[in-house]
Structure 1
């Protein structure tokens, strides 16, 4: 599990991720306290609107931001976005109006929408070995789950000696430390980006996602993840306090169990994926999610609910952790940042559906209705994934190329074997060229020369 940390670049990137996660967790607590100071009893509404705003930014604007920064040096861009986030967080203690909170929150997550997909796309370039990359994904998942469990406790301890404004300063410090860690390592040079119109850059990842069967399956599975996750995240407090008569400590226990299930799957996955395909692992996660939600129809006590929450966490990690492998296998170096950006937007679109749905259903007197509807959503997502994602999912596919004339930057790979007159310049270079009709086989991804998936 710890083997990827032997790679200095990944070690620094992972440390940057962990420090940013801790700081963000502290800010989540501080924002709740700030909202209460400014809005009083309407603080819950303010926080709910901020979370909805975050989802809208991630869904609607992440591809646009990704296209805007695609041609920048990746290390420099990550550092600039970290410093920008630090500056924004430092401004939060000085706000006096709710609209100012919304404005800074909007700016903060615009930066995150550019940072996170670019960061995710960098890791497979740093760790090209599939097994090492799988362990790195598991480590990242563990870091995320541990942060969810530890941040509330860290914030509580900090608040015994500091004001909540100091939590914002701590978050700014973590972003600065993250920037220093990224500066301290040399990132692989990304592949040259083709000259494209802005609209084409903004939609490139989405086009690859929708044209690749296994990525359509991944998108469908995110509905299963969000259905179970939203049920647990949104309705735990309602189920514990109103239905079971429990206290705040019981709520904390259930959330810890949810994270524990996720961590257990992350620990098991590197070994499991050596023997079992991503498709089988992830569809199993979808089936477990459906089963866990259906188990909630029984309306049993705290112990059964804890078991359900553990399975939801476990199933969500079975789906979410291998996603990076699936995306890496379905993209090339040039398109990978755009595809990770599309995954970022599409996965949050699923949460944008599931969060309000779980909240509305959770208000009903009968909790089984929420479990039933969300189980149906998870089942639909899992069934669609099984249909979209072929069981025989080969990377190398035999396919035909029709004759084609076009101009773009290229090197002399299997698709570019042509004569030159001397003026074209060193590779990679761009000039008009012709592709004759061709039938061959290789690791297939959607790109300029392969705009559609082969039939059969």
Structure 2
């Protein structure tokens, strides 16, 4: 499938992978995209606080309430390839705008619900919006970041994504406390609307026009007589096959990208496990202020991630593979050291440093994925990546809760091993110079044009 898409792209006369955009216009588009991501993540961070608060306030803490909160993750885990198919076939900008507008409407309806099943349904719809919006915005990065800006630009992206992590929750809490749920959810909806408007300032992508089918007709007529339900099932099956093939085609051609993908899975499992570890650490080691300390620990890492996103732009002369190895290895050591800290202050410092290293490694991940992904496979890759990372995160959270309850030392060692060992085992893949650049990938058979 990947080869077929590449050939289709190459055969499209007059089409280029990136429109020729003046530097000033490109800068405005880049700022618009990053601000759009900021507002989208801000709304998501606020929802992550306001949604459980309204559930506890109206229905109490029950398994059904937990299902309502977790329902946001279900669409991405089950239907991620559908989003990849949409991003690959249509303008990612249009997909991003429609998903943000839909999310704004759904979020604004949350406080008007009268039954738990209604919140569960709306939460599911929020997850569908995120399922489409995330891959679409990531697929737009090559249109606003020129060659040579990948690392610095994605460092800013990491900062933009991390800022809402500690801005959104307290903002949602203040709004709920002072103005009520209606105002809080309305503010989240406004953030989604702002994200939709800002995406319109990003240039349209040529990829969708290349891949969009010319006609829906078939040899048997405009639509085969299988019925709409069968046709929808066939399309869903094709979307899954296309997404899996697209991701496989991307990573099997490039060991650097393959290594990033595999180590990304183990990393998100470690981070989910780390949250459970920090909760137990705050309770056992800093029991006098356990609840507040846990929030501070998470916030300290978020602040470090913001700082790291700013600093990574100054590291562009260093080999990106070396940065990725060092970032993950140092972070693993910091997690293991947490179990031996004498005070909460020391733990806050270590997590601040861990946030910096995590941010650097994440910026390398996004930058190298942008360099190495064929434009026609980017949507499929991210739509397949996101549900898989959600699944690993879920496994990490469940395993981390059990392990942290049994032994803090064992949990910290496991977290460190999940972060560092996969990276160290695949280290040669990041250090070799394989000739991979923006539009070309050198293989045994020559240079294959990707865009």
Q: State TM-score, norm by structure 2.
A: 0.79
Q: 1:183-226 CA deviation, whole Å, 9 max, x = no partner?
A: 34433432612769545422233213441311221123224532
> CA 1:125/1:186 → structure 2, altered by over 3 Å: closer, same or farther?
closer
TM superposition shift of 1:329: 2.0
> CA 1:185/1:144 → structure 2, altered by over 3 Å: closer, same or farther?
closer
Matching residue within 279, 300, 307 for 1:257: 300
- Unmatched tracts of structure 2, length 5 or more: 1-22, 214-234
> CA 1:182/1:379 → structure 2, altered by over 3 Å: closer, same or farther?
closer
Look up the SS of the partner of 1:129 in the other structure. coil
Matching residue within 42, 53, 56 for 1:33: 53
Matching residue within 405, 414, 424 for 1:383: 424
TM superposition shift of 1:109: 0.9
> CA 1:142/1:5 → structure 2, altered by over 3 Å: closer, same or farther?
farther
TM superposition shift of 1:162: 0.6
TM superposition shift of 1:84: 0.9
| RMSD (Å), alpha carbons | 2.9
Aligned twin of 2:286: 244
Aligned twin of 1:138: 155
Confirm whether residue 392 of structure 1 aligns to residue 433 of structure 2. yes
Q: Give, in whole Å, the separation in 2 of the partners of 1:76 and 1:194.
A: 13
- The answer as to whether partners of 1:219 and 1:346 remain within 8 angstroms in 2 is no
Q: Give, in whole Å, the separation in 1 of the partners of 2:180 and 2:283.
A: 29
Would you identify which runs of 4 or more consecutive aligned residues in structure 1 move more than 6 Å?
A: 3-6
Q: Give, in whole Å, the separation in 1 of the partners of 2:333 and 2:61.
A: 38
- The answer as to whether partners of 2:92 and 2:139 remain within 8 angstroms in 1 is no
Q: State TM-score, norm by structure 1.
A: 0.79
> CA 1:380/1:444 → structure 2, altered by over 3 Å: closer, same or farther?
farther
TM superposition shift of 1:4: 8.9
TM superposition shift of 1:393: 3.6
Q: Give, in whole Å, the separation in 2 of the partners of 1:103 and 1:129.
A: 43
- The answer as to whether partners of 1:286 and 1:315 remain within 8 angstroms in 2 is yes
Matching residue within 298, 313, 317 for 2:355: 313
Q: Give, in whole Å, the separation in 1 of the partners of 2:426 and 2:389.
A: 14
Pairing of 1:33-432 with structure 2 (within 5 A): 33-42=53-62, 45=63, 49=67, 52-131=70-149, 133-190=150-207, 192-193=210-211, 198-211=239-252, 212-223=254-265, 225-247=267-289, 248-272=291-315, 274-298=316-340, 300-364=342-406, 366-386=407-427, 388-389=429-430, 391-395=432-436, 399=443, 401=445
Look up the SS of the partner of 2:140 in the other structure. helix
Specify which structure has the higher proportion of helix.
Answer: 2
Q: Give, in whole Å, the separation in 2 of the partners of 1:198 and 1:140.
A: 28
TM superposition shift of 1:277: 1.9
Bigger Cα displacement from structure 2, 51-60 vs 338-347: 51-60
Aligned twin of 2:3: none
**Higher relative contact order (Cα pairs below 8 Å, separated by 6+ residues):** 2
Q: Looking at CA atoms only, which structure, 1 or 2, has the larger radius of gyration?
A: 1
Q: How many residues align?
A: 400
